[in-house]
Every structure is written in structure tokens, then in C-alpha cells.
Amino acid sequence: MTVIFSKKCEYGLQAVLYLATYDKGAIVSADDIAKKLSIPKEFVSKILQSLTESGIINSKKGKSGGFSLAQDPKKIKLLDIVAALDGLTMFNNCVLGFPNCNPTNPCPLHDKWGVLRTQTYNMLNEDTIDTFKERTLRKVAAI
């Protein structure tokens, strides 16, 4: 169940983490990504297009085409992927959707959500995707 991210963002995070398990410059087809991660191919293709437009991954057309990371995995943070697919409004907007929610006029969850929001932002901004290579390999093997 998604709590914070859209399904598109979840799948995008998975796809980029999966691409990071390959050697630099390796090209992986959308079909392979979809099969390995159990994601519908059409959905993966749209997500990969968005990530290509944002500069996180590269695409190569043609029979031997596919996708690869556009940057060193040591430079891509999880937050970069979230920003490209879901945006960062979740870190600024009221969790309950109330207008004008702020410290002087807080919603019922303002204080507790503020702590979680800050922790989530910091976690996504701390580590780069290369940090998760071994855990991603184990997870993909278990799918």
C-alpha cells in the first residue's frame, strides 16, 4: 500500500534502483525492467519516458535499445526521482489538504506530520542510489 508516493513514483524508484545494479553504460530494455519488477510494461515505458525527460536516465531507440542511468549512481538521490515523478509539494502542503495550514493556523496533524515530513525529506536526500545496490539485487531476486 502506498502511503506517501504515487504508484508511478514507487515504480520509478524501483526501476532506477534496478538500473543502478547494472554496470555503467549497460542498456536494459523496458520489457526486462517490467518483467523483473512485475510492473505492467506500458506503465514502465511511460515512467521511463518521464525519467528520461528529467535527465535521470538515458534512452536508446532501436532493436538493441533500452535505458541506462544518465548519471553516476553516486550522484542520484532518491529525492531526485521523487521530484521528477511526484514533485515535492508533499513536503510543503498540508497532509489533510486544508488551505492555509501553517504553524500559526495548524491542522490537527500539522505538528506530527511536520516531523515525519522532515524525516522523510532528509532520508530521501541523504543517500544516493548506489547505496542500495546490494539490497536491490536481493529484493529483485526474491520477486
pTM of structure:
0.89
Domain residue extents for the chain: 7-138
CA angle 59/77/1 to nearest 5° reads 90
Decide yes or no: CATH 1.10.10.10 for domain 7-138: yes
Kindly give, in sequence order, each residue whose CB lies less than 8 Å from that of residue 126, ignoring residues fewer than 6 positions away: 77
* Residue 60, phi then psi, degrees to nearest 5: -130, 125
Kindly give, in sequence order, each residue whose CB lies less than 8 Å from that of residue 50, ignoring residues fewer than 6 positions away: 8, 12, 84, 85
pLDDT tens-digit profile, the chain (143 residues): 356 889 999 999 999 999 999 998 899 999 999 999 999 999 999 999 999 999 999 999 988 899 999 999 999 999 999 999 999 988 888 988 899 999 999 999 999 989 999 999 999 999 899 999 889 988 888 88
